[in-house]
Structure 1
Amino acid sequence: MKANTRREFLADIGRGMLIGSVGSSLALDLGISSTFAGEEAAKLTFGELEPLVSALQETPLNKLQTMLVSKLNSGTDLQTLVSAAALANARSFGGQDYIGFHTFMALAPAYQMTRELPTELKPLPVLKVLYRNTAQIQDTDSQHHEILHPVEPLTLPPNSAGGPLLQTATRSADYDQAEGTFAALAQGPVDETFNELQYTIQDELNVHRVVLSWRAWAMLELAGQQHAHTLLRQSVRFCVNSEQNLQKYNRPPSKIRIVLPMLLDQYSLLSKPLGNRKADDSWVDSLARTIYRSNPEQAAEAAAAALAEGFDPEAVGEAISLASNALVLHDQGRTKAFPDKPLGSVHGDSVGVHASDSANAWRNIARVSNKRNTIASLIVGAYHTAVGRYNSKLNELPYPLQDQLEQITSRNPKQLLQEAEAAIRNQDQFRAAAVIHQYGAQGHNARPAFDLLLRYATSEDGALHAEKYYCTVKEEFQNTRPAFRWRQLVALARVTASEYGKPSPGYAEACGLLKINS
């Protein structure tokens, strides 16, 4: 026997013994392959997109932007690049890497941002997120240790509801059981698969859990429904990982597991049709204040009671959005500095940004789901928002304060936007918020204000949140009544000033290749 063959043989025996002792699921998490010499794990591939997906995993980072611009110049469109990047991310990380899933969640928002930019600037938000994507894949060597591989569907009990089955499989904290169950469910219609997934999403309160689910669904519009299983199964693995952590650290599951079914039953919500009762400004503002100031159980019950009274789910969702927006406006800022997030900052994973992104995801899921999940998403969304409020130290009054507003005296829209930009560049959160508040109060056109803030959502890193939060605010502004919608832009101005000063890696290089002055 040759020496190298003997070493391979012994290594295979050792690997097999280790896998046998820790189990196949844990071995996969530890990066221990169950394949032996001469074997390779089956690779998940993506048809015509496969060459581009592989290129986004394997092209050296110092050559990536040049390759991408060359692709654009030769006719590859931004939608195709984003779709391939989403698949490269899913295959590499499977919802298991912190920076990885943040990057996935930024892809669709980056593409949405391109629709608001002049032609010559459209590639910039996409190129910077694709750079982040490849950088993380290669930093973790995930192109050589991919998480997602083909999975065999389990045979499910006949005439069993898919959502509860998946929920039980996920709560078992077993990847194989949950993945096999979901693979079986994914053989059905895509919208049904998404609805069945929501039972598991609603089990815990975590911004990444709900936003990953929503962004995977939104990505289907770009990548196509043929990739639904690949994109959505990231959420299954995320949820199993969460369940394993509960067990590992002996933590109790969220009380939402008790609160949600109790409220559905208490208010007989599943036996009633969805209401279409219109809500006036005073009602929406009152519900928003209730959600903001209540404990999580009270907030959830307020949403449930409103739905039981027949109010339009959009009105309930609007109140949840305004309550989460209040968390940005009342945030005192960080009291402890972190890398890329200094004292007083409110960007990145701040309570308000997280709550706003979560509320946006819960509302969007409610819009595309069946009746049960429309109701459940809004109840859980209200609970989730109140968790952020209940666990945070917030200012009694919202920013900008009255004395900060009184310092803004101009009524000229152009001058006001110039003052807003100067405040952003000085990282003066409160002045930036005050200027945009006064700009809106004077009835000026929102589009130039969005254009200003979009510029920095494109250039800045935002501690992984710039793209998502910009798109959250844009959507919530559009879906909020005129009396309240400017609160969203005021919050975005504050967050933009907070995040200014750290351009996203790869942004300057992209500007240079596109011959754009950065």
Structure 2
Amino acid sequence: MNVRRRRDFLADVGRGMLVASIGSAATLELGLVKSFAANIDDANPDRLTFGALEPLVALMQETPAEKLMPLLVQRLNSGVDLKTLVSAAALANARAFGGQDYTGFHTFMALAPALQISQELPAARRALPVLKVIYRNSSRIQEQGKNDHDTLAPIEAHAAPDPLLSGAQLRDAVRAVDWQRAESQFAARVAASPEDAFNDLQFAVEDENDVHRVVFSWRAWVMLDLAGEEYAQTLLRQSVRYCLDVEQRMHEKNYPESKVRELLPRLLDEYKLLGVKLGTREADDQWTEQLAQTVFTGTHEEAATAVAAALAEGFDPEAIGESLSRAANLLVLHDPGRSVGSSAPNKPPGCVHGDSVGVHASDAANAWRNIARVGNRRTKIASLLVGAFHTAGQHGYVTDQRFPYAEQLAALAAVNDGDKLIVETEAAIKSNDQARACALIDRYGQLALPPEPVFDLMRTYAVSEDGALHAEKYFRTVTEEYATTSPTYRWRQLIALARVTASEHGYAAPGYQQACELLRIS
């Protein structure tokens, strides 16, 4: 897998995707020299530094968020682009947290989606989603005292491992919680080839049923096309450290290992998946929906086994991935809402935004699909198997029947005015009426009206609301999955987005209002 393939893929998934705005000259525009070294400055060997981006990275790490925003707007007005701001914010986050802070890695995962969203906004508003997430980034750095204390330090590359065994060796080092061996071995692989290192990383990512593990890995990979591959070690290393951190806590608290550790190699062997050519067999809507229902209602093992059989029968991996996405979408549509016992000030009873079963499953399925698309043959197969395992087994958290809005939908049967439906949807969002928002968007879809007004409305609130750390990511997930789902089923994605948007309204994103004032927009 080469860089061109990755960029081609990213440019093609959904509208307004990230790479469409950067092209192959990204590193030259940033004034950087291509190198896969460890980002060490000879003058300051004990700290990771980032070349031409270092002054901006340091500014973001050291400056309180309220003071940072005016400085960033000044830089935008002087010609610095949003891509450069996002790149610097990602590197500041990586150096500060090293993949080991909950809010920190959530913020990192929101940076690329924020930039992607910015490309879809009018020129005057494009900086808003980026400034919003950078405000969150710098606030968290200050809260955790990372403005003058780094988590991520330089690492010396170990002797390069055998390429045929390096993925398994990295996984074994993580299982042993051997930080030095895992990080130094990974550094050597990145130095040789970021693409090969990313495929090695998946051996560790696949080891646990963990949404952050897979989404973090994918978002770090996407960030390479922003900051430049010379920062691949810093960006991808965070994911290794996340896996190590989780494994260490599992050992300390005697948590059981995921059964996927035994199931994945067994399915690969039983169905001889590593020895067969990946198929291109087309799947119709009935087949993909049947597989989606198997994943939605089945156990972890049943879903993974069904996907193994589909791969062995030669079905197109893209069709299998679509089924995973649709199963995750059903979890949003069947979610009964947050219980009183699991509620929080920004996640009240009945809400479905933030770390809900459906939003998490959707973001994870999206990441598994994307990793399967860009990874090597083994990564493609394993990602779909583990993605099925990950998405399944959650039917017990949702209801058998879809979230009830049938009565509201029936009452809209005579409404054929798309503009009116959009206006009323916004009113439903503002009143947190999930059922009415679902019904209105469902009716809009029944009329086969263009989706752009729906995306435009939902995007507004993906930018303005906090979403309990998930607004940007979930909006991008829906955008991408809508673009790659069969027309028969794609509208479900927008109904789910309407529900989540109505759920998250009223919890404004910190820094959003200041950004509006600095940009002189309402």
Tell me if both proteins adopt one fold, taking TM over 0.5 as the criterion.
yes
Match of 1:436 in 2: 441
* Cα deviation code 1:332-356 (max 9, x no counterpart): 0011221200000000000000000
The 3-state SS of whatever aligns with 1:387 is coil
- Whether contact under 8 Å (1:400, 1:434) holds in the other structure is no
CA distance in 2 between counterparts of 1:164 and 1:381 reads 19
**Identity of counterpart residues, as a percentage?**
56
| 1:222-301 → structure 2 map (5 Å cutoff) | 222-301=226-305
- Whether contact under 8 Å (2:279, 2:317) holds in the other structure is yes
Residue from 382, 388, 402 that aligns with 2:394: 388
Alpha-carbon distance, 1:64 to partner: 1.1
Residue from 452, 455, 458 that aligns with 1:453: 458
* Cα deviation code 1:17-76 (max 9, x no counterpart): xxxxxxxxxxxxxxxxxxxxxxx9800000000000000011232211100100100000
Alpha-carbon distance, 1:441 to partner: 1.3
Residue from 308, 314, 322 that aligns with 1:310: 314
Match of 2:467 in 1: 462
* 1:514 matches 2:516: no
CA distance in 2 between counterparts of 1:117 and 1:462 reads 19
Instruction: List runs of 5+ in structure 2 lacking aligned partners.
Output: 1-43
The 3-state SS of whatever aligns with 1:43 is strand
CA distance in 1 between counterparts of 2:386 and 2:310 reads 14
CA distance in 1 between counterparts of 2:295 and 2:519 reads 46
Residue from 422, 425, 430 that aligns with 1:420: 425
| 1:205-220 → structure 2 map (5 Å cutoff) | 205-220=209-224
Alpha-carbon distance, 1:157 to partner: 5.0
- Whether contact under 8 Å (2:336, 2:403) holds in the other structure is no
- Whether contact under 8 Å (2:298, 2:393) holds in the other structure is no
CA distance in 2 between counterparts of 1:158 and 1:96 reads 29
Match of 1:115 in 2: 119
Aligned-pair RMSD on alpha carbons? 1.3
- Whether contact under 8 Å (2:161, 2:185) holds in the other structure is no
Match of 1:4 in 2: none
The 3-state SS of whatever aligns with 2:521 is coil
- Whether contact under 8 Å (1:400, 1:431) holds in the other structure is no
CA distance in 1 between counterparts of 2:163 and 2:495 reads 51
Match of 1:342 in 2: 348
Match of 1:479 in 2: 484
CA distance in 1 between counterparts of 2:163 and 2:478 reads 42
CA distance in 2 between counterparts of 1:396 and 1:277 reads 31
- Whether contact under 8 Å (1:400, 1:433) holds in the other structure is no
Q: Residue type matched to 1:130 in 2?
A: I
TM-score (norm 1): 0.91
Instruction: List runs of 5+ in structure 1 lacking aligned partners.
Output: 1-39
CA distance in 1 between counterparts of 2:163 and 2:488 reads 49
* Cα deviation code 1:135-191 (max 9, x no counterpart): 000110112221111101122555651101101111111211211111111121111
Structure index of larger Rg: 1
CA distance in 2 between counterparts of 1:97 and 1:159 reads 31
Greater relative CO, 1 or 2 (CA 8 Å, sep 6+) = 2
Match of 2:506 in 1: 501
Match of 1:377 in 2: 383
Match of 1:184 in 2: 188
Q: Residue type matched to 1:411 in 2?
A: N
The count of corresponding residues between Structure 1 and Structure 2 is: 477
CA distance in 1 between counterparts of 2:131 and 2:163 reads 47
Residue from 346, 370, 375 that aligns with 1:364: 370
| 1:14-29 → structure 2 map (5 Å cutoff) | none
CA distance in 1 between counterparts of 2:160 and 2:218 reads 26
* 1:42 matches 2:46: yes
The 3-state SS of whatever aligns with 2:191 is coil
* Cα deviation code 1:223-281 (max 9, x no counterpart): 11111110000010000011111111111210000000000111111101111000001
CA distance in 2 between counterparts of 1:345 and 1:263 reads 37
CA distance in 1 between counterparts of 2:449 and 2:433 reads 22
- Whether contact under 8 Å (2:296, 2:393) holds in the other structure is no
Match of 2:14 in 1: none
Match of 1:95 in 2: 99
- Whether contact under 8 Å (1:90, 1:230) holds in the other structure is yes
The 3-state SS of whatever aligns with 1:42 is strand
Deviates more, 1:145-154 or 1:479-488: 145-154
Match of 1:33 in 2: none
**Structure 1 consecutive aligned stretches of length 4 or more whose deviation exceeds 3 Å:** 156-160
Match of 1:355 in 2: 361
CA distance in 2 between counterparts of 1:414 and 1:401 reads 21
Residue from 30, 40, 51 that aligns with 2:55: 51
- Whether contact under 8 Å (1:399, 1:433) holds in the other structure is no
Deviates more, 1:153-162 or 1:238-247: 153-162
* 1:80 matches 2:84: yes
CA distance in 2 between counterparts of 1:94 and 1:52 reads 18
TM-score (norm 2): 0.90
* Cα deviation code 1:304-350 (max 9, x no counterpart): 11111100000000000000000000000011221200000000000
Q: Residue type matched to 1:235 in 2?
A: S
- Whether contact under 8 Å (2:297, 2:393) holds in the other structure is no
Match of 2:416 in 1: 411
Q: Residue type matched to 2:71 in 1?
A: M
